[in-house]
Structures are given as C-alpha cells and as structure tokens.
Amino acid sequence: MSVKLAQGVQNRFYAARFSGGAATLYVLAAPSTAALKQWQADYVALLDSGAAPAASTAAAGGSLLGKKASLPEIKPTNAAQFLAAGGDPKSQIIPDEFHCYQEKKGSGLTPELALQILPGGKYRTPYGSGSVAVKKDSSLIKLDWKGGPLDGADGYLNFGDDGQKLSLSNVGEDMLEGELDFECYQRGPRENLALLDFKLKTPAVAKYACALKDGGKSSGTLEILAGGQYRLNGQAGRYTTDFRSDQNQNWSDLEFTGGALDEAIGSYRESKEGVREVSIYRPGLSCRTVVEPTPIPRYGTAKAPMPPKGSGGLSGAYVHWYADPLAAMGYGGCGGLCWDVRIFNKSGYVFTDEPEISLDEADCSRTHPNGLPICEVYTVKDGRITIGKEKPESFKKVGNALEIDGDSYQPLVKLEGVKLSGPYEAKSFVGGGAGSTVSGAFQNTLNFLPGGKFSRERSGGVSTTFTDTGTPSGTVTGGFTSTNQSASSGTYSIKSYTLTLTYGDGHKEQLFAFGLPDKNGKPRLDLLRLGGASYTVPDK
C-alpha cells in the first residue's frame, strides 16, 4: 500500500508472525512501487526462514518516516560565544538548534524539521540522530551527513553577520520517491532574518498603480486583497505565492487564475527603499506602491569589548583604489575599479567594510546580530600594522595619506557643499571571460541638474548561450538575451557622506558618497564613489 506523509510518499508491505502467543509486525518500506516489488519476494523468504528478528527494529538512528519524538532543550549559542570557546564559526557548525524550511512550492512560514547540532560532530532530530562531517571544498564548506534520518544527505555551511545557515540536499534519497531539500537557519537572529525576508516577498494588501513596461502608459490599479485574491480594473481573480522553492531569491513567484490576469505569471518584491512592486510578465505590467521602508536589523544587543591594551592610535577614513584585475581577463570582478575602505578608531578598532549610507555605520562599539564586533582590532608597532588575524604589513604615514603594504590609502573627502553638475556614468559587467557562457553589461547614468534636481537612466542586459557541454567550446544548442531600460528623476541633497535621492513617486534612496582628494585636499570631480559604484564623467 502507498502511504502519504508530510515528507513524501512511501510504499509499504505489511506482514505478521505469531510465535509463543506473541505477534510481531514486520514492515517493508520502499520509495517506489517498483522497488517494493523488487524486494517483496526476498522479504517474504526472510520471514519464512525464521531468520528475521523477533521484534521490530528501526534503521540505525531512525528515518524521516519514523516516529516523531520531542527534542530536549539545548542552550542557545551565538558566534561570539562559539569563538570564545575555541570554535571557528566560518568553518565549523555552531552547536545550536536550526529550523529547516523545505524547498517546495508555497509560502508557508512554519519549518518542517528541527535540527540540533551537538558537540563532537553529532546531530539530533525528532526522527533520530547521526553524525555530520565538515570539510573544505575550494572556497566552500561542505557538509556530509551519516546515519539517522539525514544519512546520505549533503550540503553547505554559510556564515554571516546574523548567524549560520545550513543547506540540506538529497535528504531521504533512498527512502522517498523524491529526495527533499531544506534551508536550515540557526534559531534567533538568522531565522528571524529569513522570516522577515519571507514577509517582504509576500504581496502586501494594498492598491498598486500599474503601467505598461513598454512605454510606461498607465494601465489601471491592481488591488491585492486578503486571502489570495486580487482585482484589476474591476475584474477579480486569485493568485498564489511561491518563495519557498528558491529561498535565496529576493522575490517571490506569482501565478494568477481568473479575472483580467487569468493564467498570467509574475513576481513580487519589496525593496529596502520601501518600493513594493508586482511585476506581470504577460502582459508586461509593473504595478507599484511606496511605503515606509521596513527596518532590517543590523546590530546585536551586546556591546563590543574594549580593544586590548597597546592597540589603536590612528583616526580617520581612508581608501585604496585600483584597477580590477579580473576585468582585464573579461570577468565581472568589482566592476572595473576596486575599493578598499578602512575607517580607523583611535581606541583600537578599524571598520573594514564600505558603509552603505553613512559613517555612523562605523561605530565600533556595536556588534553584529551574531554577537561578534562589527570592527577588527588593529595594532601599529615598529613600522608594521596588524588588522584582526591578518599577517602584519608594512605601514607608514605619507602626508595626509597612509601607506599599507606599499599601497596608498587616501583620505575620504565628503561631497557636502560641493557643486555637482552634469552626467556621471557607472558601468559594470558580469561573465564574458574564458570558460563563461554568460555575459552582461550595465550602465547607470546619474545627471546632476540645477536647483538640486537629478535625472537617472539605467540600462543593461544579459546574454546566455547554452551548449551541449555547458562550456563555450561546446556546440551551441540555444540561448536567450534579456535587456532592461528605465528612467527616473527627482531632487537630491548631500549631508556629510550621504547622498539622498528623492524620486518623483516619493521614495528615497540614500547612498554613501565620497570623492578622492586633489593636491589641495578638495574632492576630485572626475571620479565619485556613490553607493558602492564608481561614477566617472563620460567622454565627450
């Protein structure tokens, strides 16, 4: 008989033996009808031979199709605590509880599996336990699961500012008709971030102004209603949302039935600026509304510890920029120019990321949600500087600049009070190098106009070629090209290191902005760094 379970379909054959006034029930479980038929004769022969065990025994460690038990409580552990205990959260799984969300079509917010990582490379689930091995696979950290319900599964470890995520692939491959895949989030900040991401991909009940993608002509109002219903220009229908199939996308997939959009497909996303957009592919519609941006937690509740005695001494924000070596080989890299920003705190911390909006992000008293400080400790001694766990590098001051390992780090110059005029272009590209079948180019033009106004144009496209070998040397079997172009305008203002763009629809975009110093310490106006992109004055 076939049994439908939450994890899939299992085919079973039941048999019973009576001996000494007791009955023993035996169950042959298989992932398919064909497998059940293949082993049924041998199974019956085993029972008839009397060699079968007198009591039912589960596979070592249990399976996802077995009896579900309650898990004992284990103490939460974050990355800072794990590191303090001698662990490495970048290459080892933190002993903690992870909640696993199956990669399947839908929009559910409830995890299907709880997974506890225990010391000594062990794991435990409500269905049984086993072991997990961690090994380096190039730049990735690969996981191999042995024994118990995850036996034979694999996946990867990902560590970030909010905690760890484990990908689980090929779960139940030998027991189910189709193996299962999961994304497992460390409980606490990492799982909370995933749930917030799910929320931002769930269409919000609201009215959305629609326009044709080709030409921008107004096309009525789309109403997203409660209970998976919608209405467009008076015609009602239903829609379904899917963000669970691929939880790494920053949008959800939509399918419409009935009404004006019957059988149409589309997507939904909410940007960090508060722009909610329903994009319909056929017909080509973009339906948008603007709300206050949803806050994304960036910091933990703990304060960073004081740097050790003997560290510190420097102060200020500096940047080293250089031509992208990958660009010369035809790869995307960092878009032509690479930038290394370092913001030093005199007490002994240095912020080594490029801020997104302002220098306030370099407040080194803060910690990440995973408990680790947002900054690295640095020391300067005997003409050498050591940052975090990096090896010591040569160091000296040259005028207003710093020289680290032979590279010049110039002071960042704010653009507040500087008159910007005319167009600036930022160009980037992806792929296109040897061995790549994907290439793309993008251009962003920001035009500063009199009276604090701006206009902006974006254009670009991606081309993909399919070959029989998956490499450029193979025979071409197909491909596609996708292009996009948009224009917008509004007003701008600059305060300290923050450029604020206020668009005509009311939403705002804030970008960390700075220039490089000329010989007089004023900002060079031929090259600007805006929101992590390099803007230059176009050739005339």
Q: Which tokens sit at 462?
A: 């991606």
**Cβ count near 469 (within 10 Å):** 10
The answer to whether residue 437 scores a pLDDT higher than 50 is yes
The range of the structural domain enclosing residue 207 comes to 201-290
The mean per-residue pLDDT over the stretch 389-410 comes to 97
pLDDT at 442: 81
Domain tally for the chain? 5
**517 and 532 within one domain:** yes
The average confidence (pLDDT) of the chain is 88
Nearest Cα to 321, choosing from 536, 13, 65?
536
Name the least confident of 157-161, 369-373, 401-405, 442-446. 442-446
Of all residues in the chain, what percent carry a pLDDT higher than 70?
Answer: 81
Kindly state whether residues 209 and 175 are assigned to the same domain. no
Question: Of 318-332, 458-472, 477-491, which gets the smallest average pLDDT?
Answer: 458-472
Paired strand residues for 137:
140
Domain boundary among 164, 199, 234: 199
For the segment 29-53, the average pLDDT, to the nearest whole number, is 64
Residue 261 lies in a domain: yes
Sheet holding 2-5, edge to edge: 2-5, 8-19, 22-30
Whether 130 shows a pLDDT value over 60: the answer reads: yes
Closest CA to 371 of 75, 89, 81, 74: 81
Taking a C-beta distance cutoff of 8 angstroms, is the pair 182, 167 a contact? yes
Tell whether 295 is covered by a domain: no
In this prediction, residue 38 carries a pLDDT of 66
Q: What pLDDT, in 10s, does the model give residues 208-244?
A: 999 998 877 889 999 999 999 999 999 999 999 999 9
pLDDT at 60: 41
Give residue 516's pLDDT band: very low, low, confident or very high (50, 70, 90). very high
Quote the pTM value.
Answer: 0.82
Of the candidate ranges 106-110, 175-179, 183-187, 419-423, the one whose mean pLDDT is the lowest: 175-179
Q: Where are the beta strands (DSSP E) in 119-161?
A: 122-125, 128-137, 140-146, 154-160
Mean per-residue pLDDT, 147-170? 96
On whether both 92 and 143 belong to a single domain, the answer is: yes
Which residue, chain included where needed, has tokens 């668009």? 503
- In this structure, are 477 and 493 located in the same domain? yes
491 and 433 belong to one structural domain: yes
- Residue 325 pLDDT class (50, 70, 90 cuts): confident
pLDDT on residue 50? 60
Residue 324 — very low, low, confident or very high, per pLDDT cuts 50/70/90? Answer: confident
User: What CATH number should be reported for the domain holding residue 252?
Assistant: 2.40.128
Mean of the pLDDT values across residues 116-138? 95
pLDDT at 469: 58
How confident is the model over 432-446, as a mean pLDDT? 70
Shared domain for 194 and 205, answered yes or no, is: no
Number of CB atoms found within 10 A of residue 418's CB? 14
Q: Residue 411 and residue 324: Cα distance in Å, rounded?
A: 21
Do the domain assignments include residue 457?
Answer: yes
Cα separation, 436 vs 187, whole angstroms: 38
Q: Identify the pLDDT of residue 478.
A: 59
Kind and range of the H or E element at 180?
strand 180-186
DSSP-derived pairing of the beta strands 438-449 and 453-467: antiparallel
The secondary structure of 333-358 as a DSSP string is TTTTEEEEEEEE-TTSEEE-S--SS-
Whether 475 maps to a domain, the answer reads yes
Among 111, 90, 86, 88, residue whose Cα is nearest residue 101? 111
How far is residue 32 CA from its own chain's centroid?
35
The answer to the question of residue 308 being in a domain is no
- Is the confidence at residue 87, as pLDDT, over 70? yes
Residue 522 lies in a domain: yes
Local confidence band at 370 (pLDDT 50, 70, 90 cut-offs): very high
Final residue before a domain boundary, out of 411, 442, 473: 411
Q: What are the pLDDT digits (tens) for 241-292?
A: 999 999 999 999 999 999 999 999 999 999 999 999 999 998 899 999 999 9
194 and 88, same structural domain?
A: yes
Res 480 pLDDT > 80: no
Predicted confidence (pLDDT) at residue 63 exceeds the cutoff of 90:
no
Q: What are phi and psi of 321, to 5 degrees?
A: -125, 150
CA torsion 518-521-522-525 (nearest 10°) is 20
Q: Give Cα 22 to chain centroid, integer Å.
A: 56
Residue 327 has phi, psi (to 5 degrees) of: -65, -35
Question: Which of the four pLDDT bands, split at 50, 70 and 90, describes residue 407?
Answer: very high
Residues 456 and 491 occupy one common structural domain: yes
Q: What is the 3-class SS of 386-453, one letter each residue?
A: EECCCCCEEEEEECCEEEECCEEEEECECCCCCCCCEEEEEEEEEECCCCCCEEEEEEEEEEEEHHHE
Looking at the predicted structure, is the pLDDT value of residue 131 above 70?
yes
For the stretch 19-29, pLDDT in tens is: 545 556 666 66
What is the rounded (10 degree) CA torsion for 94, 96, 101, 102? 70
Q: What is the pLDDT of residue 459?
A: 83
Best mean pLDDT range from 25-34, 82-91, 332-341: 82-91
Whether 406 and 516 map to the same domain: the answer is no
pLDDT at 487: 82
- Backbone φ and ψ for 248, nearest 5 degrees, come out as -90, -10
Question: How far apart are the C-alpha atoms of 185 and 364, rounded to whole Å?
Answer: 27
For residue 537, pLDDT beyond 80: yes
β-bridge pairing 508-517 and 407-411: unpaired
182 and 98 share one domain: yes
User: What percent of the chain has a predicted confidence (pLDDT) above 90?
Assistant: 71
Whether residue 69 is contained in a domain is answered as no
Domain check: are 148 and 220 in the same one? no
Name residue, tokens 């961690």: 134
* Domain contains 501: yes
The pLDDT tens digits for 448-472 are 999 999 999 988 766 666 665 555 5
Ranking 133-142, 361-370, 378-387, 430-439 by mean pLDDT, the lowest is: 430-439
For residues 242 and 280, membership in a common domain is answered with yes
CATH of the domain at 486: 2.40.128.300
pLDDT tops 60 at residue 372? yes
What confidence tier does 48 reach under pLDDT thresholds 50, 70, 90?
low
Q: What does the pLDDT read at residue 173?
A: 75
